[in-house]
Amino acid sequence: MSRIIAVANQKGGVAKTTTTHTLGIALSRLGERVLLVDLDPQGCLSFSLGLDPDALELSLHNVLTGKHAAHDILIKLDDVSVLPTNIDLAGAEMALLTRTGREHTLAKALTPFAEEFDTILIDCAPTLGVLTVNGLTAAQEVLIPLQCEALSHRGVAQLLDTINDVREYTNDKLTVRGAIATMFDSRTRHAREVIEDVRERFGIEVLDPPIPKSVRFAEAPSQGITILDHAPKSPGALAYQQIAAVLHADRR
């Protein structure tokens, strides 16, 4: 049975897509069969995987609007498989608003993959709208990328409120696996204080180690690769590999 993890934070620019992509590749290299789901109309995950979102004939939009099955849009790459998306997904969000049981649309679409993949990672949109609620309803766990800066964790309370609503109405088994501290600058006391504040205020685990800030992360997506290949010995690559190992151990 697949483990489904939603990677969510309504604040943009917190390395949500980078986290989804990099953990997906790292888990696949630990022997897992991994499916990545691009649930953000911006299509950044699809682009980071080397795809051209604008050239897609079929995307997640076609699935969520009921025109195709998820297997119809599945693309198998070297390390992972992906359900890609593009800006058309914004139209699917509008269509879902009028549909009964709209929160369960993605969960139903992923059901046929239950035995095909070990882990499914969902890159949620940077909002708390119907698409993100679909991702949370489909998932068993949530990972929250958290930028270690002053205002970055203010939205965590809102996200946790949404998670509580999802637990109450659509998915009572949803749990928060933890936060991942991104763009971490170990030289600053403030970055460490943000991590401790999240632990104490919200009572959620911040997975170790923090992901250090590095220009290497920005360089990799244009080549359709992650930092694991672009700079495999960098602190950022090693940090993501350690977190992937923790998630992989969860399955045992």
- The mean per-residue pLDDT over the stretch 71-83 comes to 97
Q: pLDDT category, 208, cuts 50, 70, 90?
A: very high
Q: Determine the Cα angle at 58 with ends 120 and 101, to 5°.
A: 60
CB 140 within 8 A of CB 3: yes
**Burial environment of residue 84 by CB neighbours within 10 A (0 to 12, 13 to 18, 19 or more):** buried
Residue 211: predicted pLDDT: 95
Task: Kindly give, in sequence order, each residue whose CB lies less than 8 Å from that of residue 2, ignoring residues fewer than 6 positions away.
Answer: 35, 110, 113, 114, 115, 116, 117, 118, 119, 120
Of 201, 206, 198, nearest to 180 by C-alpha is 206
Residue 192: predicted pLDDT: 85
DSSP structure class, residue 111: G
Number of domains comprising the chain: 1
Q: Which helix (H) or strand (E) holds 207?
A: strand 206-207
**pTM score, whole prediction:** 0.96
- Convert the pLDDT of each residue in 118-163 to its tens digit: 999 999 999 889 999 999 999 999 999 998 776 666 778 889 999 9
CB 4 within 8 A of CB 122: yes
- Convert the pLDDT of each residue in 2-32 to its tens digit: 999 999 998 888 899 999 999 999 999 999 9
Average pLDDT, the chain: 93
* Residue 144: strand pairing partners: 179
- Convert the pLDDT of each residue in 161-187 to its tens digit: 999 999 999 999 999 999 999 988 877
The residue range of the domain holding 56 is 3-250
Of 109, 41, 106, 51, nearest to 82 by C-alpha is 51
CATH number, domain at 51?
Answer: 3.40.50.300
